[in-house]
Amino acid sequence: MRSVELFAGAGGLALGIAHAGFNHEAVVEWNNASCNTIRANQQRGIHPVDHWPLFETDVRTFDYSAIAPNLDLLAGGPPCQPFSLAGKHAGPSDARDMFPEAVRAVRELQPRAFLFENVKGLLRESFAQYFEYIYLQLSYPEIVRRGGEQWMDHLLRLEQHHTQGRQAGLLYRVLFSQLNAADYGVPQRRERVILVGFRYDLGFNWAFPRPTHSYDALLYSQWVSEAYWERHEVSLGARPQLSAKLQKRVDHLRALAFPPLDQPWRTVRDAIADLPDPTLNGVAGNVSNHRFNPGARIYSGHTGSVLDEPAKTLKAGDHGVPGGENMLAFSDGQPRYFTVRESARLQTFPDDYAFSGSWTESMRQLGNAVPVTLGQILATSIRNRLEMG
């Protein structure tokens, strides 16, 4: 199936979509360092990146006329900074808001389906009207904002059209949901807003894939069956202490007739246990991007991730100390930064996928990425629906 990827970054979502069986006819990204990462993997012959048509350009200038009609999937993660909890919260006033370009791409390409990702801050109350605006633009992409028209006035026209109930022209059935990547087997608590649309004339119904992993299943495997500790060969004395609150939850799980049906959330230990210790001589064996970076410290708002839970959300480090939250917090209170390879594991990139640039730049790329596994699960569900016809 044919796809186009916008705002590709270092390629997380694009990789997931490719692993789901889509062939990218254009991969568009303006950031040179991110493009260098993709190009470096192409030069190394890493599949499926090796045959991506990469366009290093501003999406606002990209010409879609060369893309053949009846595209199957348009996807991408418009820049999140206008809506991020860590940003300036400027939303539609932020020049980095690229949702208008996502809508233009939908209008010009008319794909059978689209998939867009953004931070959970997009759903905060202060952005409620603008989120409705995004939603209605994606539903009715041919109702274009007029020259000089304010977005609030354009929203009013979209609302009026929507309430008329007309089903003419280019129209999409749009669903959105806030998903936690940990619920889908990613070893990271990463909550993101996902928007999926199917062209109305196809007559498709669709629903977001059901979560497959849960915290209760992790607690059960750690403190009831103890299979987690046995698998990792962690002795009784080396296991963390349960809080009183968690002990009550474990007691409830122990009293169940059957264990949780979901798979356990994957933890930091699950993701990185087989990697060598990067603190030994600064470089850990021959593992790419696995160099120790000193100087980690815990401070307000940046306490790191514990070993036996999914990691906290990896961040791009555009504000404050770069990678300030991207740390492993040991039980003795000492932190260390995740290596680039460890962070790539937490974002479910394959080990043969290398990142270009400094630690800070690589961590920025990883903090902005969509977990490959989550992208693959969503794209597989979309592809299955498209193939059903």
Strands (E), the chain: 2-6, 23-29, 54-56, 73-76, 113-119, 172-180, 191-199, 213-214, 263-264, 327-329, 335-337
Pairing of strands 327-329, 335-337: antiparallel
Please tell me the distance from the alpha carbon of residue 110 to that of residue 267, in angstroms, as a whole number: 40
Cα 356-362-366 angle, rounded to 5 deg: 125
35 catalytically annotated: no
Please tell me the distance from the alpha carbon of residue 285 to that of residue 377, in angstroms, as a whole number: 32
Q: For the chain, what's the residue count?
A: 389
> How far apart, in Å, are the Cα atoms of 23 and each of 3, 5, 384, 387?
6, 10, 15, 15
- 372 closest CA partner among 12, 52, 3: 12
The answer to whether the CB of 82 falls within 8 A of the CB of 90 is yes
Please tell me the distance from the alpha carbon of residue 344 to that of residue 39, in angstroms, as a whole number: 17
User: Which candidate in 6, 17, 49, 80 is catalytic?
Assistant: 80
- 194 closest CA partner among 113, 109, 296, 261: 113
Give 200's DSSP letter: G
Please tell me the distance from the alpha carbon of residue 350 to that of residue 325, in angstroms, as a whole number: 22
Residues belonging to the active site: 80
